[in-house]
Structure 1
């Protein structure tokens, strides 16, 4: 059974700090933050448990569901629950056990309660398209040079099955709202760390349930790329999207009209507010944002127009007149 070296040094290693601007880009409101958190934790749990099962299969010499080889006394012996601390908070996972107790997982060692580094692997593996060579490279880096290629293959094969299933899982027939956005993440490609855009779709169901529908990576965005995204959603079962919320991603409107012609395309409120505030002085932005809040929190279109008319009578409207286009917030031109 391969072992990790320098365990004590790894345990004392300081965790990297997430940049504040990345957090601000990810968390735009309670809905989006909660959805990303829940989906990330659920996806992480499934991957960890699948990888641990593959580790035990390598340790025993035969995979789950296969007949135990003759002369092999050791076998699977259920699972035990364990709570580990991750960057996103505590996560409860089921650790597989063997009969004679000789199985010591590499991914989450015995008596280990902290789990680090897996978040980056999930994003990197998915963004790289889940090729065997690239996934093996990342897991090899995490496990260490002493891990055999056979062991890496047994783990990556199981992880690939889980991710491929997630990528192709069926979707709901209708989503009232789907948010589309792009995240900038650092990825190692050909030995060089580069900034890459990972595009995500966050769907909201009628009962308020939120789910990440998919993640896609592309060097350049445009109508062709968004056609691929929308066709992927449609192939997996989505027939209608009432409102698509975005921040003006290139080529989206053209592709959306082609695949989901009845869908209303709406600019994200956060970006509308930022556009409005960009015309105000830095020291006055907080006050202008507070004055605009009744407009974008209004429950109906009529109420929003009434609040906008009220804003036009304020001192801020005189200092920062709105666009002549009807229904456009002050400062947007």
Structure 2
């Protein structure tokens, strides 16, 4: 693992990619403006990342300073060093069978992303979904362009391009809503369609009958961060005392298999989570040495684990 040591304003700093991941574990990704750094497939604002990993106030450095040091960790960024082969899209590396579908997927995404500001568009949809019932969701999804074609395109492009997490997260939730809302059930709080929750919206979805978190990340084999993330969401849902049905929606069987079969402990699963979540676990469920699979079957047994590929078979091939 590359470790980068440098001096800034008279102090010496030593960072590596894992330290960056740890620093970001409990943060909500801010909106992108111009410069970004990619961490595990998600693009973050460079000043947010550099400030988090160094502890520096953002007024103490420029975006270009942050880019230079993050590039030294071999992380993809919006500005690349001269001659970096990853700075260009190499279409020759994409098979001839994939190119037509990928081109069509890019066209679908460009049409969607170019029609309006994404942040404003998602925010508007979140506001309009607050208080709706099952019948209204489908028409709102159609008006917003959140259809299966968009989700399928975003999933395909994500395999070959940068971050599309917010589009995928928003489209998946919007498509699932009309399939899961029961007669008379209503969304009672503005849903968190973009990836990452804030303090005012602790769950991705809250209705008068259920609370839910959505994990649409595709597991690739080396999934330590994804495992910790899905376990943290499971604990978060298990801690709820509202009496509503807690549900965890995941992209394919691997996440469910992990939660039901992992011998690793809750200590490992939560070691990158917030102190508040760890404290809540210990106060409610006891020591953190319980195996994840035992916690899933026991204290978290009431949390429903739901495979999104079953609910969205039209995009299952792109998810799995």
Q: What range describes the TM-score normalised by the shorter chain of this pair?
A: under 0.3
Structure 2 length normalisation: TM-score?
A: 0.23
Judging by fraction of residues, say which structure has more helix: 2
Structure 1 length normalisation: TM-score?
A: 0.23
